[in-house]
C-alpha cells in the first residue's frame, strides 16, 4: 500500500498510516500523529508481528477496526473505535474505545495460511 505519511486526507487514512507505522516500528510518525502524551518505545513491540488490519467502519472523525498481531507464538486481536481530530489542518489520533473481542474459531486465520482459525493458530 502507498501511504501519504505527510498529511493524510481523512481519519481512515491516518489510522491506516498509523497501523503501517506500527508494522514498521516508526515511532517518530506515531508520536507526531497523536494528541496524547505518548512516547513510542520500540522495546514494547520488539516481539510483535502485525498480521492483518480490517476496517469495520469509518464515519466522521472515528474509525472502528480490528488489528491482528502475533506475540510469543500466540495471535491476538486489538478491536478499537479510534477518534481523530484536526489540528492546524493535520489529522491526529485522539484516543479510542477498546472492545473486548476475540478471534472466532470459524474465522479465517489472520496468519494468512488460508485455514480456519480453529484448525490453524488457535492450537
CATH numbers and ranges of domains, the chain: 11-119 (3.10.450.50)
So what's the pLDDT on residue 65?
97
CA atoms within 13 A on the CB side of 38: 17
Q: Is residue 6's pLDDT more than 70?
A: no
pLDDT at 2: 45
Residue 121 neighbours by CB under 8 Å, 6+ apart: 70, 74, 75, 109, 110, 111
Q: At 121, is the pLDDT very low, low, confident or very high (cuts 50, 70, 90)?
A: confident
Query: Residue written as cell 518505545?
Result: 41
- Percentage of residues in the chain with pLDDT exceeding 70? 94
pLDDT digits (tens, 9 = 90+) for 84-114: 999 999 999 999 999 999 998 898 999 888 8
Amino acid at each position: 500500500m502507498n501511504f501519504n505519511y505527510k498529511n493524510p486526507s481523512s481519519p481512515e487514512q491516518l489510522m491506516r498510516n498509523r497501523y503501517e507505522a506500527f508494522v514498521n516500528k516508526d515511532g517518530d510518525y506515531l508520536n507526531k500523529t497523536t494528541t496524547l502524551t505518548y512516547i513510542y518505545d520500540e522495546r514494547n513491540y520488539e516481539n510483535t508481528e502485525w498480521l492483518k488490519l480490517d476496517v469495520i467502519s469509518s464515519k466522521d472523525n472515528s474509525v472502528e477496526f480490528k488489528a491482528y498481531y502475533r506475540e510469543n507464538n500466540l495471535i491476538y486481536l486489538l478491536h478499537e473505535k479510534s477518534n481523530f481530530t484536526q489540528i492546524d489542518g493535520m489529522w491526529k489520533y485522539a484516543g479510542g474505545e477498546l472492545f473486548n473481542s476475540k478471534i472466532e474459531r470459524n474465522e479465517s486465520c489472520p496468519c494468512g495460511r488460508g485455514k480456519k482459525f480453529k484448525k490453524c493458530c488457535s492450537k
